[in-house]
Structure 1
Amino acid sequence: MTVQFASYLRYSLALASSIVLTVTILTDSRFLRSDIKFRTPSVNELEPSELNGINRCYKSPSAHGSISYFEDILDAEKQPTVGKAIFFHETTCSETGIVKLNAKQACAIESAARLNPTRDIFVIFASPVGVRENEMLPQFYNKLQTYGNIYVRNMNLWRYSFKTPLTDWLKSNKLFESAFLFEHMSDIVRAITLYKYGGYHMDLDVIVQKNIDDLGEDFIGDDWATVVNGAVLHLNNYGIGREISQRFFGEVIKNFNGTSFIANGPKMLTRILEDICSTEDRTLWTRRQCQGLTIHPKETFYPISWSNYTLYFEPEKLDEALKIIENSTVIHVWNDRSKDIWNKFGINNAYQCILVAN
């Protein structure tokens, strides 16, 4: 009995020591490093110390001055619902710090919000903007403020990309040496957003004609060109969506090309999908063949090809254009080609008719 009692006593003392050690580890500040493990670093910790030229447009704003800057998306209390939100990205340089949207961009955002009232719409500015205190709200922005599901946010490129595969690559100056900086930044930022949150990306030169619920998830749209288009897409932040995002980051790191307009968007995406779908023949790209990714037909987002973009703006082609687009969920009007077209409100063309209807 004495031997058994001694063994029991030694076991009890060992167990008690183990418990004390465990409690010490869990409560001692030397072991509690949640501030390092879980804390999102500040802008000052991640933003390059020297920003010159165009880079300065993307520097985090000063807290001083008369401009009330929009919240950073990472810090805002209202966060995107994973996989469900619609994102628009504005990556041009704002020299004034005042939010500015043209009519085409505002209509893209408004049509998405109006036809998808149960979804949150996030408009993310890469170059920080806000509104000036004690002044009227900027044109078009005031109308968007009437929608309860539109959230305008800023982002800091280096902080936003933290803990993504592009964290180190963005410390180089390769992106800012691009001849198509705004477009290539848009390609990269949309991928970061969908990698982080999942959801829908839409370019700012679209008009949404229908609720998007029936489109499903994890999809892209086929295009008329030899490459696919990323102007409208959905990727989840898991499964095939995450795989596509990760492969895209790998392509950027290895093959970024700042001299070609479509090199870092459509061309990269096409190569990735040809590999995932195991064929270059897009007629064979079924959801099963493409490991869970849907490729919607041209008519869904791109009913009028880039080569015929003027159909949207020619009054004499009104009926023809409206017939072509009547079953499309979203239309893309090819802003890289149509941006200089004079399109005064009241002109009886297809684009104006679509705006009025949506």
Structure 2
Amino acid sequence: MHIFSIYRRKLVILLLCFTLGILFVANIGISQISTQVYHYVYPKAGIYCYRVKTNSLPDISEVKPRKGKSIFFHETSCNSYYNGKISITPRQACAVESAAKMNPNFDVYLLYVSPGNFCFENSESDRILKALLTYKNVNILHVDFEKYSKGTPVENLYKRGYIENSGYAQSHASDVLRLLKSICGVKEAKDMLNKDCRGFTVYPRDKFYAIPWWNWTMYFDESSTGTVFNLSKDSYIIHVWNKQSERSRIPLSSEVPYLLYAKKYCPKVVEECDEYF
């Protein structure tokens, strides 16, 4: 996950990966990006819903986000389509709430590639979505992948089905929705530091990955709380390495670092959780 920031001030966030790709990151709170759900039996099922034309949320193409004052999250799984309504997990929602809470003067957009509408039936997901919508700066919309990629170098990749046939369809779809490295004219991500990237400021890795992936369990270990807080004290975002950690359920009574951050930066989401975060 590559994260580009157009803002300067410090933030402390939990970044998980939930197929939410943060495109523009400002002073966010807790972030989660790119949950890959792979469909091994039917490879195309991963992003099949992108081509389904049905009633859905208003499309992002119908609004004009404020330049330099907008934060974008992309939810690129088809989970909402399979669930029959727009849905979200607590950790995904925590990313969005923390961004909205820490950046009240920014508009926060949560964009679903999956078609679907709200259907509030008092499930945990429904209550969490309602909690997000209590923030005046949160906008939950649809993004039409075909429209989004039209006129870009990846338009033919999508039209010809290359992305769908990939073994990592959702990951590659997420990549399309981000700005990969050509904008800065470099070959390696590390070369983007201190380089003019058309208005983007690219930060060093330690601002986002205070804890390397091989130590991801520290976020779920009460005995590591002091160490995690110390290592991440200068971080803008904290990446919780979802590929490794998504199965680690956290009881709401726990005192692990991840939940402590969540209670501070996404309190409304935590309040709506049934038993686990």
Decide which moves more: 98-107 or 137-146.
Answer: 137-146
How far off is 1:348 after superposition? 0.7
1:297 to 190, 193, 204: 204
| Structure 1 equivalent of residue 71 of structure 2 | 86
In structure 2, what is the Cα distance between the partners aligned to 1:135 and 1:273? 48
- Please state whether the residue corresponding to 2:250 is helix, strand or coil: coil
| Structure 2 equivalent of residue 99 of structure 1 | 86
Residues 346, 352 of structure 1: 8 Å contact kept: no
TM-score (norm 2): 0.70
Residues 325, 331 of structure 1: 8 Å contact kept: yes
How far off is 1:288 after superposition? 4.7
How far off is 1:103 after superposition? 0.8
Percent sequence identity over aligned pairs: 30
- Please state whether the residue corresponding to 2:115 is helix, strand or coil: coil
In structure 2, what is the Cα distance between the partners aligned to 1:71 and 1:291? 29
| Structure 2 equivalent of residue 33 of structure 1 | none
| Structure 1 equivalent of residue 172 of structure 2 | 184
Residues 99, 130 of structure 1: 8 Å contact kept: yes
1:139 paired with 2:127, answer: yes
In structure 1, what is the Cα distance between the partners aligned to 2:196 and 2:177? 28
- Please state whether the residue corresponding to 1:346 is helix, strand or coil: coil
Structure scoring higher RCO (CA < 8 A, sep ≥ 6) equals: 2
- Please state whether the residue corresponding to 1:183 is helix, strand or coil: helix
| Structure 1 equivalent of residue 108 of structure 2 | 121
CA deviations over 1:126-170 (Å, ceiling 9, x no partner): 1112113x7447131011010011111112211221222222221
| Structure 2 equivalent of residue 244 of structure 1 | 183
| Structure 1 equivalent of residue 98 of structure 2 | 111
How far off is 1:292 after superposition? 7.6
TM-score (norm 1): 0.55
Alignment of 1:1-358 (within 5 A): 54=45, 56-63=48-55, 69-75=56-62, 78-93=63-78, 94-132=81-119, 135-136=121-122, 138-191=126-179, 243-244=182-183, 272-274=186-188, 282=190, 286-288=193-195, 294-358=201-265
How far off is 1:62 after superposition? 2.6
Aligned residue identity for 1:244: I
Would you say how many aligned residue pairs link Structure 1 and Structure 2? 218
In structure 2, what is the Cα distance between the partners aligned to 1:290 and 1:89? 22
Aligned residue identity for 1:88: F
| Structure 2 equivalent of residue 29 of structure 1 | none
Structure with greater Cα Rg: 1
CA separation of 1:345/1:286 partners in 2, compared to 1, >3 Å: closer, same or farther?
same
RMSD of aligned C-alpha atoms? 2.7
Residues 70, 107 of structure 2: 8 Å contact kept: yes
Residues 119, 149 of structure 1: 8 Å contact kept: yes
Structure 1 runs not aligned, ≥5 long: 1-51, 64-68, 192-229, 231-240, 248-271
Aligned residue identity for 2:257: A
How far off is 1:118 after superposition? 0.6
In structure 2, what is the Cα distance between the partners aligned to 1:116 and 1:135? 30
Moved >3 Å (runs of 4+): 134-137, 288-295
CA separation of 1:286/1:177 partners in 2, compared to 1, >3 Å: closer, same or farther?
closer
